[in-house]
């Protein structure tokens, strides 16, 4: 994800108007994917840690 977002963050500095909005939307989508992955990972990891000794 970082490889995708870094160029977008660089592009957004030079973009204007509608193009800037499109780039920001792409960044937001990528950020949301990362947040969802992290949330799911932590839930699954926590579940594993809580129940692995059972």
Tens of pLDDT, residues 13-50: 999 999 999 999 999 999 999 999 999 998 888 777 77
Quote the pLDDT of residue 54. Answer: 53
Which one is predicted more confidently, 3 or 49?
A: 3
User: How far apart are the C-alpha atoms of 53 and 16, rounded to whole Å?
Assistant: 55
Q: Are 27 and 12 in contact (CB under 8 A)?
A: yes
Quote the pLDDT of residue 15. Answer: 94
């Amino acid at each position: 994800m970082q490889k995708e977002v870094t160029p977008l963050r660089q592009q957004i500095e030079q973009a204007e108007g509608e193009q800037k909005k499109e780039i920001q939307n792409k960044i937001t989508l990528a950020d949301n994917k990362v947040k969802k992955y992290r949330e799911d990972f932590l839930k699954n990891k926590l579940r594993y840690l809580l129940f692995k000794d059972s």
